[in-house]
Amino acid sequence: MQLTTEQLKEKINNYKKKLSVTVVAHFYQRDEVFEIGDITGDSLELAQKTKADTADYVVFCGVGFMGQSVKVLSPHKRVVMPKLACCAMATMIDGVGFDNSVKALNEAGILSENILPITYINSNVEVKAKVGQMGGMVCTSSNAKIIITTALKEGKKILFVPDRCLGQNIANQMGLKSSIIGDGSNIAESDIICFNGFCSVHQLFSVDDINFYRKKFPGILIAVHPECDPSVCDASDFVGSTSQLIKFIKKLPEDQKVAVGTEFNLVNRLRPKNTYVLSSTKPECPTMNETTLEDVYNVLKSIDEGEPLNEIKVDDETQKWAKISLDRMLAL
Ligand code: 13P
Ligand code: SF4
């Protein structure tokens, strides 16, 4: 028999009381999943808050790289995911793709010892480990600027993976030269060389959408995530991570209209009025939307029965190096 949403919530709450578990949910999760989160936030906050949490099990409602990051930072914890959903951007680069990117820089005349790699947290654990081994570190959308500022002090070229948009947006903000591997741009003359990855959800927002809203509602503000195309970020009033967007929008006067360029579930929860989705196509992240209440219930049940489903495992060597690259970020 299919359980109703209310029945599922009740059963989930009973398991939460009975078991040593913390349910963690990213802002992009479906409303009903987000509401049962004990810890919610952007990807940096989730990594930090979950590290400080003391429960034996983390039930992570989000995408694979987020669950992996928790496991890497707290190897003694058991991390399970109601759905093993994979961020599309994170799947664009693996260890081989990373090695080939280093090779592309070498071929452009940049020696490996003069490369400092930075990986956006939206990457798999293998890539984070490779970055750690090369002396690099992780960044998130909320701290990318400070991480890159620190990295540049080493006087090296930055190899930024996998999100070309975040890499180029930070370069533009800081007045640095950037290029994208494989698109014919000049790698040797760039400060930041980006892998050609992107988020298909954030590619939905365009300058045409911004012009449409500015014409329709003069005085409207445009707030977007830095995974949007540089042309979109340049034409916006505010660019920030999911948490930064929420803080910015919640402080606006009630009658201030704002159009927001990020995932639909987050935008839909923001404010009852005067908030618009900056796209005519509903910007839903397919993988973030995969996790259902039923999946959360099933994973809690499996913990109670002693056979946890979808547990995240990372081998020791990968864990060691990925932790180094994440810890370097957290230390800043
Ligand atoms: P935040 O780091 O802003 O939470 O973003 C994660 C993400 O996947 C955005 O698409
Ligand atoms: Fe990945 Fe884009 Fe979904 Fe964020 S919105 S989890 S970057 S696919």
From CA 102, how far away is CA 124, in angstroms rounded? 17
Residue 140 CB less than 6 A away from ligand 1: yes
Residue 241 CB less than 6 A away from ligand 1: yes
What pLDDT score was predicted for residue 2?
86
From CA 158, how far away is CA 173, in angstroms rounded? 15
From CA 117, how far away is CA 71, in angstroms rounded? 22
Give the DSSP H or E segment for 98. helix 95-107
pLDDT in tens, 136-177: 999 999 999 999 998 889 899 999 999 999 999 999 999 999
Residue 101 CB less than 6 A away from ligand 1: no
User: Prior bond to 75 cis, omega within 30?
Assistant: no
Q: Which ligand is nearest to the CA of 26?
A: 1
How much is the mean pLDDT over the chain?
A: 96
Give 282 Cα–ligand 2 centroid separation in angstroms: 14
Could you please state the CATH topology (level 3) that the domain comprising 90-199 is classified under.
Answer: Rossmann fold (3.40.50)
Length of the chain as a residue count:
332
Give the residue whose CA is nearest to atom 6 of ligand 2. Answer: 87
Say what angle helices 64-73 and 43-52 make with each other, to 10 degrees. Answer: 40
What pLDDT score was predicted for residue 71?
95
Kindly list the protein residues whose Cβ atom lies closer than 6 A to any atom of ligand 2: 63, 87-89, 122, 199, 201, 227, 263, 285, 287-288
Q: What is the CATH number of domain 5-85+288-314?
A: 3.40.50.10800
Task: Summarize the confidence of residues 9-31 as an average pLDDT.
Answer: 97
Question: DSSP assignment, residue 114?
Answer: G
pTM of the predicted protein model: 0.95
What pLDDT score was predicted for residue 220?
98
Domain 90-199 and domain 202-277, same fold? Reply is: yes
**How sure is the predictor about 44, in pLDDT bands with cuts at 50, 70 and 90?**
confident
pLDDT in tens, 45-88: 898 899 999 999 999 999 999 999 999 999 999 999 999 999 99
pLDDT in tens, 199-256: 999 999 999 999 999 999 999 999 999 999 999 999 999 999 999 999 999 999 999 9
Q: Which ligand is nearest to the CA of 247?
A: 1
Q: Which CATH superfamily is domain 202-277 in?
A: NadA-like (3.40.50.10800)
Give 242 Cα–ligand 1 centroid separation in angstroms: 6
Contact (CB, 8 A) for 24 and 17: no
Relative to the CA of 41, which ligand 1 atom is closest?
4
As given in the structure block, the two tokens for residue 50 are: 């979950």
For the chain, the structural domain boundaries read 5-85+288-314, 90-199, 202-277
Nearest to 93 by CA among 159, 13, 24: 159
Task: Summarize the confidence of residues 80-102 as an average pLDDT.
Answer: 97
From CA 115, how far away is CA 89, in angstroms rounded? 23
Contact (CB, 8 A) for 131 and 137: yes
Strands 258-261 and 78-80 come out as unpaired
Give 226 Cα–ligand 1 centroid separation in angstroms: 9
Relative to the CA of 87, which ligand 2 atom is closest?
1
Give the residue whose CA is nearest to atom 2 of ligand 1. Answer: 43
Q: Which ligand is nearest to the CA of 88?
A: 2
Torsion on CA atoms 144, 150, 156, 162, rounded to nearest 10: -20
